[in-house]
Amino acid sequence: MPRTPSRTPSRTKARPDASEPAFDLNADAGESYGPWRMGEDEALFPHLTSVNVACGFHAGDPLTMVRTVRLAAEHGVAVGAHPGLPDLLGFGRRDLAIDPSELHAAVVVQIGALSAVLRAEGTGDLHHVKPHGALHHRMVRDEDAADAVARAIAGAAPDARLVTLAGPAGDGMRSAAARHDVRTVDEAFPDRGYLTDGRLAPRGTDGALWTDPEAVAARAVRMVRDGTVETVDGGVAEVRPDTLCLHGDHPGAAAIAQAVRAAAQAHGLRLAAYA
């Protein structure tokens, strides 16, 4: 007997709809170092459209970078650099004292290292640059740091996009990029808590980390469709992202990514790496 066409509203569509927003789903990856293992990249990559690969300063090493680039190529995932402060002991999450000239040089070296791996593997040019941890937070509040990173991208990978914090809190990052003719893409974090001003809630505070796959997936859909996120104090912050980041070092990151993909499909949202 012929089936009656579904009258289900768009929010419960079972297949992507070209009229709905598209978004990129990224994660930090390649963050193992020597015999020390971090994350579950093999399980995570099938659910992503782009990855941010550690470049040896906060995590990662040459062999890990090569293996991560190969894994990304296997899954058709776009590759970006994930530069951080020189802080292997603190995983790049400590706010180290570093002047703009030293920061510029550090980011140039990290971008250059991953770009060389991509060329050697024949997998194309660097897709984007996504600052890690304390470097990202520094760029949000420090114009000189944001300028140093944007200048490094302009010189070392001018066709790569700088990934900036979505919403008004990322205005300084976008202004620095514009000064150096660097294109940007706005990012939000469904697995992280937000403050009312649109910045990320500091790790260690209540509501700063989200690990339940269904809850993270619901936040991801809201971010893409409504452009907002509930803050840790019950308010609402504007985000309007082009890309969503899942932290690959979180426990159960692959399950979270799978839930986000399933929620996107259920709501008719399309996943695709940005050009």
pLDDT at residue 247, as a whole number: 84
Written as one string, the DSSP assignment of 133-162 is HHHHHHHHH-HHHHHHHHHHHHHH-TTSEE
Q: Is the dihedral of CA 41, 213, 91, 194 positive or negative?
A: positive
Residue 256 CA to residue 260 CA, distance in Å, equals 6
CA dist 104 and 90 (Å) reads: 20
Tokens describing residue 184: 């940007």
C-alpha distances in Å from residue 33, one per residue of 58, 152, 192: 9, 25, 24
Two structure tokens written together for 82: 């994930």
Which residue stretches of the chain have pLDDT < 70?
1-21
C-beta atoms surrounding 103 within 10 Å = 26
Supply the pTM of this predicted model. Answer: 0.88
pLDDT value of residue 19: 53
Structure tokens at 87: 């802080």
pLDDT at residue number 99: 95
pLDDT of residue 1: 35
pLDDT score for 270:
92
Residue range 36-52, pLDDT digits in tens? 888 889 999 999 999 99
